[in-house]
Amino acid sequence: MPDALPPHPDRHAPVMLPMTLTVNGTDHTLTLDARTTLLDALREHLHLTGSKKGCDHGQCGACTVLVNGQRVNACLALAVMHQGDHVTTIEGLLGPDGGQHPIQAAFIAHDAFQCGYCTPGQIMSVAGMLAELQAGVPSHAASDVAAAPAPTDAEIRERMSGNLCRCGAYTHIVDAVRALSGGADAQASASAMGTAIATGTQVGRTAAAMAGAVAGAR
């Protein structure tokens, strides 16, 4: 048998691709290895370090960002997949006045964190979850998928189950989300969501789109 051909010298060379990522409303032109995850693009190339690298396997939720308003584990997504999409990180989650977002305020008020490492991912997941609730998207905890979802503790825990907190602040996280979705903080959160819809920001666009899709499905 003839000898095997020697490996091509460039066989294992990275494939570098030019791309433009829209993050927090700003376009960024980058040249990245095609294997670069969205999380590494955000942290290592755009220096947006609020999104955390925890497990790097999509199991802890610390890297949660919004892509077109929907929750995504950035460690499992390739950056090249999201050209043309709108990515929102914790750095871009702002309140109606450009200051502290109501979700951040609720986490502080309800002591919904300890070390804080998972908190950015928790907050971004809550933002996506509130958009889902507003749009009427059902979850596995729903007894009637055709009915509008109610922010019960079971519903909140199911929707937040992809975000782990090693410090065990789950009870206070549920308290914060419950307040946002039906308590004293609900008006502020609704105001922020309404402003988002009016100004075309990430969570707002997705809430409006999801509402239309759910209404059409029913």
Residue 78 β-bridge partners = 37
Strand runs labelled E in the chain: 16-23, 26-33, 64-67, 70-73, 86-88
pLDDT profile of the chain (218 residues), mean per 10 = 62 89 97 97 98 97 97 98 97 90 96 97 97 93 88 95 96 96 52 43 47 42
In this prediction, residue 208 carries a pLDDT of 46
In this prediction, residue 3 carries a pLDDT of 67
Distance, CA of 127 to CA of 101 (rounded, Å): 10
Percent helix, strand, coil in the chain, to 5, is 45, 15, 45
What separation in angstroms does the CA of 65 have from each of 2, 186, 192, 211?
52, 22, 18, 20
Order of strands, edge to edge, in the sheet holding 26-33? Answer: 26-33, 16-23, 86-88, 64-67, 70-73
Write down the pTM of the prediction: 0.80
Nearest to 31 by CA among 23, 39, 41: 41
Nearest to 163 by CA among 38, 73, 41, 48: 73
For Cα atoms 157, 163, 167, give the angle at the middle one, nearest 5 degrees. 95
Q: How far apart are the first and last CA of the chain?
A: 65
In this prediction, residue 55 carries a pLDDT of 96
Structural domains for the chain: 16-92 (3.10.20.30), 102-217 (1.10.150.120)
